[in-house]
Amino acid sequence: MDTATAGLTFRDATDADVDALVELIESAYRGDSSRVGWTTEADILEGQRTDPEGVLAVVRSPDSRLLTVERDGRVIACCQLEHRGDHAYFGMFAVSPALQGGGLGKVIIAEAERAARESWGVREMHMTVISVREDLIAWYERRGYRRTGRMTPFPYGDERFGIPQRDDLQFELLVKELV
C-alpha cells in the first residue's frame, strides 16, 4: 500500500459530518486556502461552493451517498454518488488542498466507481465540470472520462453556487463507461 492509500477509511456521511464536509469542500474550491491545491476555483468563482443545507440534502437523499474519506479519524476527502437510473452521477468531489497531487484523488474516484457499480449495477458514471477548467477536465480524461460537448448553463444569479468572476461559465458533461 502506498502513502496515498495508507490508513484510509471510506464510509457514508452522516448528519454529524455536515460541518466538517462543508469546511472541506469550501477549502478545496474557494478562497486563499484553496490555492494550496490545484482544484481551486478561486479565480473564476467567489462566494460559497456549498452550504450545510446542500450537503445535508445529499446525505439524506435515498438515491445518494456522500462517500467520506478519513485518515486518522479526520475527514480528508469526499464525493457524492447519486443513482440516476442507468447511470450514477459523481459530484461534490473534494480532497483537502494540502493532500492534493499525491494520488489520493485517483484512489477515491476508483473507489467511487466500484461502489456505484456494486451498489446500483450502473454501467456509466456521469459528472459535470465547469468547461473552462481545462486542467481538471484533462485529469478526468486521464481517468477514462470523455468529453461529450453537451453543455448546461451555469446558474448565474444563484449565489448558492458561487459568484462568477467571468461571463463564459457553463458545465460540460463527462462520461465514463464502468466495465
The superfamily in CATH containing domain 8-177 is: Gcn5-related N-acetyltransferase (GNAT) (3.40.630.30)
Q: Return d(Cα 99, Cα 38) in angstroms, integer.
A: 10
pLDDT per residue rounded down to tens, the chain (179 residues): 456 667 899 999 999 999 999 999 988 887 777 777 777 777 888 887 889 999 999 999 999 999 999 999 999 999 999 999 999 999 999 999 999 999 999 999 999 999 999 999 999 999 999 999 999 999 999 999 999 999 999 999 888 788 888 999 999 999 999 98
| Alpha-carbon span 60 to 157, nearest angstrom | 26
- Say what the pTM is: 0.91
What CA–CA distance (Å, rounded) separates 107 from 143?
11
95 neighbors 77 (Cβ within 8 angstroms): yes
